[in-house]
């Protein structure tokens, strides 16, 4: 019979089998490097798929925004028997203000006095609404221009207006300043475009008429007429409030000959900030007057875009 001391020594003394198990419990450096290499390879394979899935989700969200905006325009037309004007005059409220009640923005809309210029509205009349924001656009920098005519037409006391940012714009026509699209300036009682810009900042407008309705668009067909689209924004993200009727690039854009879709990252020139484009690779989303939203390749010809933008010319882009 073994003594207690002998038994204790046997228990405490490591066996050869225990030493073998202990030596086999870790990884060698080569094994660790192999595992890390496999993980890196899997990440390299999966990351593009994950990024692609995220961009696909952002595109769907962007298209849904355009659908909501188009529905708001349709509801406005049903109530007013006309499409909202692109603005009520240079310096006055834009179509983005007019459709606020149809976008769950009734509280914001109630802070507006449509008879008054943008620059004399209260600050509570402005806000960044998610429906106007594309999720693919970066929000790291936003340089808001106050308006192209601000410095020499508006006294310093009126150089503040409601904030608001939009990645979408109405289609005003085929060229800058050429009102041959779905969005045009409101009309006065005589049927002439309202343009009280060079009057006092406190000037009021009391009456206006809507310039376009669906009957006007039916000449080409609602399915062949562009209504809204994504705006090209330069890397500096310089733009104007979409509520500000003093700078049209903030709320309407043109597309026609020499005014095609702009690729992301394109350097700014005399026309890019008046054209359509997006942060989505290779395409921009557009809403048609019939309510559908479609991705349009940035390689689409200017002639096709002009046929889709111009109202009443009878030209139809059959590819769409």
The pLDDT, as a whole number, for residue 74 is 98
Per-residue model confidence (pLDDT) at position 237? 64
Does the pLDDT value for residue 19 go beyond 60? no
- At 206 the pLDDT is 81
Give pLDDT tens digits for 69-88.
999 999 999 999 999 999 99
Q: Strand 143-145 to strand 168-173: parallel, antiparallel, or no bridges (unpaired)? A: unpaired
Residue of 269, 264, 253, 244 whose CA lies nearest to 309: 253
Residue 160 has pLDDT above 80, yes or no: no
What is residue 181's predicted lDDT score, i.e. its pLDDT?
A: 94
Task: Name the pTM for this structure.
Answer: 0.80
CB 186, CB 194: distance < 8 Å: yes
| DSSP state letters, 93-160 | -BHHHHTGGGGT-HHHHTT--TTS-GGGS-GGG----GGG--TTS--S--EEE--TTHHHHS-GGG--
The residues, ordered by sequence, that sit 6+ positions from 174 with a Cβ below 8 Å of its Cβ are 180, 181, 254, 255, 256, 257, 259, 306, 309, 310
With left for phi above 0 and alpha for psi between -120 and 50, is residue 163 left, alpha or beta?
Answer: beta
Q: Which residues are paired to 288 by β-bridges?
A: 226
Q: What is the pLDDT of residue 146?
A: 58
- List, for residues 128-141, the tens digit of each pLDDT value: 899 999 999 876 65
What is the tens place of the pLDDT at every residue in 243-301? 999 889 999 999 999 999 998 888 888 788 899 999 999 999 999 999 999 999 999 99
Say how many CA atoms lie within 13 Å of 227 toward its Cβ.
30
**In the chain, alpha helices (H):** 4-12, 16-23, 29-80, 95-98, 106-109, 150-153, 214-217, 302-309
- β-sheet bridge partners, residue 277: 262
CA distance 203 to 212: 25
Q: What is the reported pLDDT for 152?
A: 45
Tens digits of residue pLDDT in 23-70: 555 678 877 888 888 888 887 777 776 667 787 889 999 999 999 999
How far is residue 227's CA from residue 223's CA, in Å, rounded to a whole number? Answer: 10
Report helix, strand or coil for 209. strand
Which pLDDT value is given to residue 63? 97
Cβ atoms of 89 and 195 closer than 8 Å: yes
Q: Which residue has the higher pLDDT, 317 or 158?
A: 317
- Which residues have a Cβ under 8 Å from the Cβ of 237 and sit 6 or more positions away? 137, 138, 141, 142, 143
Phi, psi angles (nearest 5°) of residue 115:
-75, -15
Can you tell me the distance from the alpha carbon of 196 to that of 210, in angstroms, rounded to the nearest whole number? 16
Q: Higher-confidence residue: 309 or 28?
A: 309
Maximum C-alpha span of the chain: 124
Q: Is the four-CA dihedral 104, 108, 109, 110 of positive or negative sign?
A: positive
Rounded distance, CA 315 to CA 180, Å? 13
Average pLDDT, integer, range 117-128? 89
Average pLDDT over residues 161-185: 91
**pLDDT for 217-245, tens place per residue?**
988 899 999 999 999 987 766 788 899 99
């Amino acid at each position: 019979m073994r003594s207690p001391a002998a038994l204790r020594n046997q228990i405490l003394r490591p066996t050869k089998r225990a030493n073998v198990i202990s030596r086999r419990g870790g990884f060698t450096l080569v094994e660790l490097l192999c595992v890390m290499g496999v993980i890196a390879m899997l990440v390299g394979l999966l990351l593009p798929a994950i990024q692609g899935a995220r961009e696909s989700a952002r595109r769907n969200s962007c298209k849904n925004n355009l659908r909501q905006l188009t529905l708001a325009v349709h509801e406005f037309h049903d109530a007013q028997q006309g499409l909202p004007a692109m603005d009520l005059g240079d310096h006055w409220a834009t179509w983005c203000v007019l459709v606020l009640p149809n976008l769950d923005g009734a509280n914001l809309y109630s802070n507006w006095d449509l008879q008054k210029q943008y620059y004399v509205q209260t600050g509570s009349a402005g806000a960044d609404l998610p429906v106007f924001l594309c999720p693919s656009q970066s929000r790291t920098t936003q340089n808001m221009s106050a308006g192209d005519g601000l410095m020499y037409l508006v006294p310093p006391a009126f150089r503040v207006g409601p904030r608001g940012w939009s990645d979408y714009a109405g289609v005003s026509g085929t060229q800058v300043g050429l009102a041959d699209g779905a969005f045009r300036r409101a009309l006065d009682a005589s049927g002439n475009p309202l343009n009280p810009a060079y009057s006092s900042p406190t000037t009021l407008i009391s009456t206006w008429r809507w310039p376009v309705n669906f009957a006007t668009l039916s000449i080409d067909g609602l399915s062949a007429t562009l209504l809204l689209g994504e705006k090209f924004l330069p890397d500096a993200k310089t733009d104007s409030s979409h509520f500000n009727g003093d700078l049209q690039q903030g709320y309407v854009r043109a597309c026609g000959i020499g005014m095609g879709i702009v690729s992301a990252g394109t350097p700014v020139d005399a026309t890019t900030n008046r054209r359509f484009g997006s942060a989505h690779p290779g395409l921009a989303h557009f809403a048609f007057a019939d309510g559908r939203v479609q991705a349009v390749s940035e390689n689409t010809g200017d002639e096709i875009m002009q046929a889709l933008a111009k109202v009443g010319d009878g030209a139809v882009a059959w590819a769409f």
